[in-house]
């Protein structure tokens, strides 16, 4: 089978849905970069995540055997508000999002096109190899007056598809 022009949308939408579902089920405001509008209400939310997706990068390994790789980045903004109870909230949020990254992510035909029937085409898993597949970064306090911290979860995913 030839390259399907829908693949990039399906992969991006599936990754976005996965992380957004986890964020929202934990009561974190969430935004998918380049898909959703950045509202004032979102910006003012003290605990929020921004989901950014690169890829997929798709290569035909052999006839009708495709390799997909994609990278997701979850930016976490956490307002400490000066209490000890909130001192680790950003790190807890990062742990929850990193745990979500380690889960298998179903890739469904998502969107509004005629081929978008939500059926499963495959599953993304952590990319294997020498480089870590999930990394948590601590950027520290980006606003010391308001006690706002930033963290990030960097995820590398892969999927094989045989047509």
The 10s digit of each residue's pLDDT in 68-77 is 999 999 999 9
Percentage above 70 pLDDT, the chain: 94
- Taking the C-alpha atoms of residue 111 and residue 23, their distance in angstroms, rounded to an integer, is 20
Q: What are phi and psi of 137, to 5 degrees?
A: -115, 140
Domain membership of residue 2 (yes or no) is no
Domain membership of residue 1 (yes or no) is no
Confidence class for position 23, pLDDT limits 50, 70, 90: very high
Domain that holds residue 12: 7-162
Domain membership of residue 115 (yes or no) is yes
CATH number reported for the structural domain that contains residue 120 in this entry: 3.30.2000.20
DSSP string, the chain: -PPPTTHHHHHHHHHHHHHHHHHHHTT-EEEETTTS---HHHHH-SEEEEEEEEEEEEEEEETTEEEEEEEEEEEEEEE-TT-GGGTTHHHHHHHHHHHHHTS-EEEE--SSSTT----EEEEEEEPPSSS-SEEEEEEEEEETTTTEEEEEEEEEEEEEEE-
pLDDT of residue 84: 55
Domain membership of residue 138 (yes or no) is yes
Number of domain units in the chain = 1
What pLDDT digit, counting tens, does each position of 89-124 carry?
Answer: 889 999 999 999 999 999 999 988 889 999 999 999
């Amino acid at each position: 089978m030839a390259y399907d022009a829908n693949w990039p949308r399906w992969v991006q939408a599936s990754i976005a849905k996965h992380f957004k579902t986890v964020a929202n089920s934990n009561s974190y405001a969430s935004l998918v970069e380049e898909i959703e509008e950045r509202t004032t209400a979102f910006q003012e939310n003290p605990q929020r995540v921004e989901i950014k997706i690169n890829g997929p990068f798709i290569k035909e390994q052999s006839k009708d055997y495709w390799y997909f790789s994609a990278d997701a980045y979850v930016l976490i903004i956490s307002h400490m508000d000066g209490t000890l109870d909130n001192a680790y909230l950003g790190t807890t949020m990062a742990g929850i999002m990193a745990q979500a990254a380690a889960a298998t992510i179903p890739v469904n035909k998502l969107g509004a096109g005629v081929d978008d029937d939500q059926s499963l085409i495959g599953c993304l898993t952590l990319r294997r190899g020498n480089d870590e597949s999930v990394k948590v970064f601590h950027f520290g306090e980006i606003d010391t007056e308001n006690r706002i911290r930033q963290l990030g979860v960097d995820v590398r995913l892969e999927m094989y598809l045989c047509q």
